Amino acid sequence: MAKGHWFREYYEAILVAVIFTLFVRTFVAQAFKIPTGSMEDNLLIGDHLFVNKMIYAPHLDTPLHALMPYRDIRRGDVVVFKYPQEPERDFIKRAVAVGGDTLQVQAKNLFVNGEPEQNRFVVHKSHEVFPDSSFLPSSARNRDHFGPYTVPAGFVFCMGDNRDNSLDSRFWGPVPRHYFKGRALIIYWSYDAEPNSHLVQGLWNRTKQLAEVALHFFTRTRWLRTFSLVR
C-alpha cells in the first residue's frame, strides 16, 4: 500500500470519528458532572452523567420523526439547562412544574395544582422552617414558603431535590423552554470529589487535581453507582 494512500485512509478514519463524536455530543448525548450538592442524595457531587439531548429536540411531523423518542419536558424529569442568570453555565435540577401549572411551597412542602408533590428523592437537611414573613429576605423566606405562582407558557419551574441547599427557580424564576439541553439519563462514573472542583483554575492546580484523581481512582470511585439510571 502506497504511503500516501495509507495516510489518507488514516486521516479519513480520524476525521469521521471526530465528526461522529461532535454530532453525538451536539444532538444526541453529552457528558455532565455534578459539581454541587443541590440534588443530594439522589445525585452526588462527582457523579458523571450522560444527558439525552435528543429527547427534547424540535422535530418535524413526518413518519420518521414519529418513530423517534421525542417528547416535551414533564414534571419529575431531571433536566440540564442553561442557568438563566449566567447562560454559559449549565445547571441540573428537577422539573417540578410546567407552563400553566400553579405551585406553592408551604413550610417546605411543595404542592402543584393543589396536589402534594410525589417525589421520593426530596430531602430536607435542615429542621428549621423559616417563617413566612415579609421581614425576612427573599433568599430565606422563599426557601420554605413560595407562591402561589402560575408558571407562564413556554417556561419550566425547576428545583433541586436537596430543597434546603439548592439555588433554583424559587430564587431566580422559571427557565425558558429553549434553555433546556436534555434529560439526565445514566451515571457512567461516580467519584467522591470535592464540591465545586470544576472551578479550579490554572494549569498547575488542574494538573494536581488530575493527579489526585488518578491516585485515588480505585478507592474513591463509587462503584455501586456505575451505570445507575437517573430517576
Instruction: Name all domains of the chain by residue range, CATH numbers in brackets.
Output: 31-229 (2.10.109.10)
Which pLDDT score is estimated for 156? 98
Which pLDDT score is estimated for 31? 79
208 beta partners: none
User: Bigger pLDDT: 53 or 195?
Assistant: 53
Residues 59-75: tens digit of each pLDDT:
656 665 666 667 889 99
Catalytic residue among 53, 93, 181, 190: 93
- Is position 138 annotated as part of the catalytic site? no
Most confident of 136-140, 153-157, 204-208: 153-157
Most confident of 3-17, 159-173, 202-216: 159-173
Asked whether the beta carbons of 106 and 166 are under 8 A apart, the reply is no
Helix or strand run (H / E) with residue 170: helix 169-172
Mean pLDDT over 119-125 rounds to 95
pTM of the model: 0.82
Q: In this model, does residue 25 exceed pLDDT 80?
A: no
**Residue whose C-alpha is closest to residue 28's, from 183, 177, 158, 179:** 183
Asked whether the beta carbons of 43 and 34 are under 8 A apart, the reply is yes
Mean pLDDT over 212-230 rounds to 90
Catalytic residue among 38, 166, 169, 190: 38
Range name among 65-74, 100-109, 144-153 with the lowest pLDDT average? 65-74
Asked whether the beta carbons of 156 and 180 are under 8 A apart, the reply is yes
- Is position 38 annotated as part of the catalytic site? yes
Q: In this model, does residue 84 exceed pLDDT 90?
A: yes
